[in-house]
């Protein structure tokens, strides 16, 4: 029984997990695929570095081309990260007929269509389950589980770092910068947390999910992105009083072939399942025309959860090899991309204003909403001992985004409004 030979690009946290699972689950993998699976070469940055896993030094290399050009290697698993150089490696590997399993969300969000087109040309598999939500099998669910349905909405918490920060702010009343430092100390946030806290990481993942869910080539530039760095304790406190939790949500919607994709802090009704997802966990909610509402929950990162998704993809590649159907199971984008305009996007909104504390102010504010045909669900005036001005909290009904922008522009010019303190989408 000839083994399936694997080249591994990267031996960091996730790469180590991949080696552990392949070596530790060898009997199970053989029974599932009909062949032994062997990692024969591993790309590392430093061959002399001490590691927390025992690997035969003869398998290590600092030269990626030793793996890509090795004719005996059937499958390349990429967990090294990066975009430009990594793209070159993977395209070259596909040219040589090698199948790819990757966890690289940045690469797939930016260059996925090009890589998948090359794979189709060469009858190769490219699987990337681990690129979104770690141990949650969400990509396979979209590609296989919803084949008979039409997806209307994908909404979820797809970044564990920001969810950890917002959970701590909500549960402990802590300030953003204090919790960010704690997350960095615990290893949940990078030394430069920009990609996480400004929503870039989540936007890349939503690009992938929207492309798969809506069968159109959604680009990162199509995603409206707003991070969590401006969220205050006050926002979270008022949200809780009104029955909402603040979450950084990725939201992709498809109405009659017109798509909108955003990443933004959102007030989620406490009765909605996403509101109770805490810590570093991820959860993705999918609404299909036929099935209705479903939600998938689990660890979004980590050595073994992510490695589990990678090895599941590896098993799928090997099974396809046995059947001779590599390159035929990938879902390609076949629909024209139509991105919604501000006139086509609607949602409920939470708006916190600091205003003059005098008679008639609320009437002026509600007149502006009426002028732009924005109806209000609730209005709350709340005393704040720390603020000499009055605070008004408004929840709108579903409103066209273009109309909300006009309302806010008019508020900017009104003397009685001292600050538009916060504006958030409302869900649930």
47 close to 60: Cβ distance less than 8 angstroms: yes
Considering the chain, tell me which residue range(s) the CATH 3.30.360.10 domain(s) occupy: 138-298
Report the CATH fold assignment for 346-427.
Alpha-Beta Plaits (3.30.70)
Residue 112 burial (CB < 10 Å; 0-12/13-18/19+)?
buried
146 close to 288: Cβ distance less than 8 angstroms: yes
Query: Taking the CA of residue 77 as centre, how many other CA atoms within 13 Å lie in the half-sphere pointing to its CB?
Result: 37
State the residue for tokens 């024209």: 336
Considering the chain, tell me which residue range(s) the CATH 3.40.50.720 domain(s) occupy: 4-132+303-323
269 close to 287: Cβ distance less than 8 angstroms: no
Task: Compute the radius of gyration of the chain from its Cα atoms.
Answer: 24
Considering the chain, tell me which residue range(s) the CATH 3.30.70.260 domain(s) occupy: 346-427
* Nearest C-alpha neighbor of 416 from the set 389, 387, 396, 379: 389
In CATH, what class is 4-132+303-323? alpha beta
Query: Any catalytic annotation for residue 205?
Result: yes
pLDDT at 48: 84
Residue in 41, 118, 205, 348 annotated catalytic:
205
In CATH, what class is 138-298? alpha beta
pLDDT at 384: 65
353 close to 421: Cβ distance less than 8 angstroms: yes
pTM of this structure: 0.92
pLDDT at 383: 67
Q: b/e for 200-223, b at 16 or more Cβ within 10 A?
A: bbbbbbbbbbbbbbbbbbbbbebb
* Nearest C-alpha neighbor of 312 from the set 12, 28, 90, 16: 28
Integer CA distances (angstroms), 44 to 7, 66, 79, 108, 331, in order: 12, 12, 11, 22, 32
pLDDT at 420: 96
How does pLDDT run along the chain (428 residues), one tens digit per residue? 789 999 999 999 899 999 999 999 999 999 999 999 999 999 999 988 888 899 999 999 999 999 999 999 999 999 999 999 999 999 999 999 999 999 999 999 999 999 999 999 999 999 999 999 888 999 989 988 898 999 999 999 999 999 999 999 999 999 999 999 999 998 888 889 999 999 999 999 999 999 999 999 999 999 999 999 999 999 999 999 999 999 999 999 999 999 999 999 999 999 999 999 999 999 999 999 999 999 999 988 788 889 999 999 999 999 999 999 988 766 668 889 999 999 999 999 999 999 998 889 999 999 999 999 999 999 988 766 666 678 999 999 999 999 999 999 999 999 999 999 999 999 98
């Amino acid at each position: 029984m000839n083994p399936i030979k694997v080249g591994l690009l990267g031996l960091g946290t996730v790469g180590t997990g991949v080696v552990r699972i392949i070596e530790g689950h060898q009997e199970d993998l053989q029974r599932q695929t009909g062949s032994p699976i062997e990692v024969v070469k591993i790309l590392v940055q430093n061959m002399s570095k001490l590691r927390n896993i025992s690997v035969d030094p003869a398998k290590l290399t600092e030269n990626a081309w030793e793996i890509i050009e090795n004719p005996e290697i059937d499958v390349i698993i990429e967990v090294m990260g990066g975009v430009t150089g990594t793209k070159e490696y993977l395209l070259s590997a596909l040219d040589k007929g090698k199948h790819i399993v990757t966890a690289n969300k940045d690469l797939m969000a930016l260059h996925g269509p090009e890589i998948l087109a090359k794979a189709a040309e060469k009858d190769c598999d490219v699987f990337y389950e681990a690129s979104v939500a770690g141990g949650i099998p969400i990509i396979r669910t979209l590609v296989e589980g919803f084949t008979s349905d039409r997806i209307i909405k994908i909404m979820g918490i797809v970044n564990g770092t920001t969810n950890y920060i917002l959970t701590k702010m909500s549960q402990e009343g802590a300030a953003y910068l204090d919790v960010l430092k704690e997350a960095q100390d615990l290893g949940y946030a990078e030394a430069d947390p920009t990609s996480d806290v400004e929503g870039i990481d989540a936007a890349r993942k939503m690009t992938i999910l929207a492309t798969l869910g809506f069968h159109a080539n959604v680009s990162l530039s199509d995603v409206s992105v707003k991070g969590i760095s401006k969220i205050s304790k006050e926002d979270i406190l008022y949200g809780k009083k009104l029955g909402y939790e603040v979450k950084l949500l990725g939201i992709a919607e498809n109405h009659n072939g017109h798509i909108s994709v955003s990443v933004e802090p959102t007030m989620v009704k406490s009765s909605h399942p996403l509101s109770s997802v805490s810590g570093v966990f991820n959860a993705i909610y999918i609404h299909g025309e036929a099935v209705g509402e479903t939600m998938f929950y689990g660890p979004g990162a980590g050595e073994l959860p992510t490695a589990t998704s990678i090895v599941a993809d590896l098993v799928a590649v090997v099974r396809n090899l046995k059947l001779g159907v590599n390159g035929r199971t990938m879902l390609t984008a076949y629909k024209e991309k139509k991105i919604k305009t501000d006139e086509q996007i609607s949602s409920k909104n939470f708006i916190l204003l600091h205003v003059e504390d005098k008679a008639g102010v609320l009437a002026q504010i509600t007149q502006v909403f009426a002028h732009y045909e924005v109806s209000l669900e609730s209005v709350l005036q709340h005393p704040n001992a720390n603020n000499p001005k009055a605070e008004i909290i408004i929840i709108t009904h579903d409103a066209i985004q273009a109309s909300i922008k006009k309302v806010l522009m008019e508020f900017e010019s009104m003397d009685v409004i001292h600050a538009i303190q916060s504006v958030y989408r409302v869900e649930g």
